[in-house]
């Protein structure tokens, strides 16, 4: 079924809770709907959103916002060790994770409590606690708005990278309708993230639900509850620098948190740099840098304007550039 709403306020469709009106809002609940849409009549540009948990609307949107309500979970055979599962783009990521953990299936538990829907999870290649969506995805089904037909991409063709994918780069061409994941019945806890391993104190978790609960406790301790305070999670990506640049960053500090990547480049937590620049808790109009995790910008007053957020973003980028010679890039998509 296709639902259309004109001049529609998107406040309830973005976790930052920015007021933004789109010319047309279209919701659909099957790939067939997409094949039957009157694409030529829709105001342009087109923008597909999930639950809007990684978007900053910087003003009204002159085009058409599309939202998938395609919701299904299909298990091929729950008895298999290595189990393919097809899931619809409109399913809430955390509901799906709770369900598969309940079935004793490993692979997604580290991504627990990440806000958003399955479609957006592959667009953004969501990640947390040493795991990324791409680790479990085996294929993605899309509607191609240019060719006007359904297409399937096996994982090697999805262009997955850190918070990036072919779908994110496609300028709205590919609308994700469903994702195929492969999860494991054999235990395979991923405790590569130090804080998560510490939650278990050397004892191996026995079920994915145990890991899920530990992840939820970690997130609740650091990240704002989207029900209580507007934000879009991490606002910036963690930058990657050369070893020589890292040595310069370290000057004057006893230790600097970092992760050495394959090939020798070094990822430095943006949160640490933002904190060093004195931005923890910084306020700009109704927006603020979250006290417990400075990588997150929050709509502290509930009435922050996009301008407040953009001004704070630019203050942070300038300060980090000046102090560390590092250019921060937003992770949150600006519309
Ligand atoms: N740090 C500080 N000060 C702070 C907080 C953190 O210096 O107040 C430093 C610490 O050294 C800490 C490091 O930053 O060890 C990393 O912090 P954290 O583990 O909280 O993770 P992050 O790198 O800041 C990334 C993801 C998160 C994800 C966490 C956990 C990005 C952009 N963000 O954040 O993802 O939940 O790791 O795996 O990669 C999101 O994408 O919206 C998101 C929340």
Percent pLDDT > 90 in the chain is: 96
pLDDT of 82 reads 86
pLDDT, one tens digit per residue, over 118-145 is: 999 999 999 999 999 999 999 999 999 9
- In angstroms and rounded to an integer, the radius of gyration of the C-alpha atoms of the chain is 20
- Residue 45 preceded by cis peptide, ω within 30: yes
For the cut 90, the answer to whether the pLDDT of residue 80 exceeds it is: no
**Distance, CA 250 to ligand 1 centroid (Å)?**
19
163 is catalytic: yes
Q: Tens digits of per-residue pLDDT, 50-77?
A: 999 999 999 999 999 999 999 999 998 7
In three-state secondary structure terms, 262 is coil
Chain-centre distance for alpha carbon 19: 21
pLDDT at residue 19 greater than cutoff 90: yes
Helix (H) or strand (E) holding 144, with range, is strand 137-144
Query: In whole angstroms, what is the distance from residue 315 CA to residue 180 CA?
Result: 41
Q: Residue 102 above 90 pLDDT? A: yes
148 is catalytic: no
The catalytic position among 48, 132, 163, 212 is 163
Instruction: Give the count of alpha carbons within 13 A of 168, CB side only.
Output: 20
Q: Which of 8, 3, 17, 15 is nearest to 304 (CA)?
A: 17
Q: How do beta strands 61-68 and 46-49 pair?
A: parallel
Six-digit token string for 38: 């009157």
Alpha carbons 285 and 276: distance in angstroms, whole number:
22
Per-residue model confidence as pLDDT tens digits over 153-206:
999 999 999 999 999 999 999 999 999 999 999 999 999 999 999 999 989 999
What pLDDT is recorded for position 149? 97
- C-alpha closest to that of 111 among 198, 197, 211: 211
Q: Is the CB of 294 under 6 A from ligand 1?
A: yes
What local confidence, expressed as pLDDT, does residue 227 receive? 87
Q: From CA 80, how far away is CA 59, in angstroms rounded?
A: 48
Q: What are phi and psi of 204, to 5 degrees?
A: -75, 130
Instruction: Return the pLDDT at 276.
Output: 98
For ligand 1, say whether the CB of 330 is within 6 Å of any of its atoms: no
For residues 79-94, average pLDDT? 92
- Give yes or no for residue 205 CB within 6 A of ligand 1: no
What tokens does 111 get? Answer: 């991504």
Taking the C-alpha atoms of residue 176 and residue 212, their distance in angstroms, rounded to an integer, is 26
Q: Which of 270, 276, 283 has its CA nearest to residue 332?
A: 270
Contact 331, 234 (CB under 8 A): yes
Count of helices and strands (H, E) across the chain: 9, 20
Its pTM stands at 0.94
Q: What band does 272 get if pLDDT is binned at 50, 70 and 90? A: very high
Give the whole-angstrom CA distance, residue 119 versus residue 87: 9
The mean predicted confidence, pLDDT, of the chain is: 96
**Token reading at 13:** 């469709």
Decide: 277 in ligand 1 pocket, CB within 6 A.
no
Structure confidence at residue 11 (pLDDT): 96
Average pLDDT over residues 288-311: 97
As given in the structure block, the two tokens for residue 15 are 């976790």
Whole-number pLDDT of residue 78: 73
Report pLDDT for 6.
98
State the Cα angle at 86 between 164 and 163, rounded to 5°.
10
């Amino acid at each position: 079924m296709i639902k259309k709403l004109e001049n529609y306020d998107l406040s309830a469709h973005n976790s930052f809770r920015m007021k933004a009106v789109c010319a047309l809002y279209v919701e659909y609940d099957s790939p067939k709907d997409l094949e039957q849409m009157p694409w030529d009549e829709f105001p342009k540009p087109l923008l597909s959103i999930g639950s809007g948990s990684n978007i900053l609307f910087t003003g009204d949107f002159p085009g058409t916002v599309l939202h998938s309500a395609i919701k299904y979970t299909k298990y091929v055979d729950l008895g298999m060790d290595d189990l393919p599962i097809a899931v619809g783009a409109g399913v809430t990521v955390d509901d799906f994770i709770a369900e598969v953990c309940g079935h004793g299936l490993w692979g997604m538990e580290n991504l627990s409590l990440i806000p958003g829907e399955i479609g957006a999870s592959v667009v953004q290649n969501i990640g947390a606690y040493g795991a990324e969506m791409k680790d479990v995805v085996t294929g993605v089904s899309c509607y191609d708005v240019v060719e006007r037909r359904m297409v399937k991409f096996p994982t090697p063709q999805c262009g997955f990278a850190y918070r990036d994918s072919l779908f994110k780069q496609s300028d709205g061409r590919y609308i994700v309708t469903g994702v195929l994941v492969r999860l494991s019945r054999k235990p395979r806890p991923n405790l590569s993230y130090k804080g998560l391993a510490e939650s278990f104190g050397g004892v191996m978790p026995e079920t994915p639900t145990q890991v899920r609960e530990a992840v939820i406790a970690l997130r609740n301790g650091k990240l704002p509850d989207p029900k209580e305070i507007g934000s879009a999670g991490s606002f910036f990506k963690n930058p990657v620098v050369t070893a020589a640049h890292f040595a310069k960053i370290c000057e004057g500090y006893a230790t600097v948190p970092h992760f050495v990547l394959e090939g020798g480049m070094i990822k430095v937590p943006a949160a640490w740099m933002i904190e060093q620049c004195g931005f923890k808790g910084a306020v700009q109009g109704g927006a603020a840098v979250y006290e417990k995790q400075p990588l997150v910008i929050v709509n502290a007053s509930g009435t922050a304007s996009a301008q407040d957020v953009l001004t704070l973003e630019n203050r942070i980028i300038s300060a980090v550039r000046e102090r560390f010679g590092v250019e921060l890039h937003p992770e949150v998509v600006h519309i």
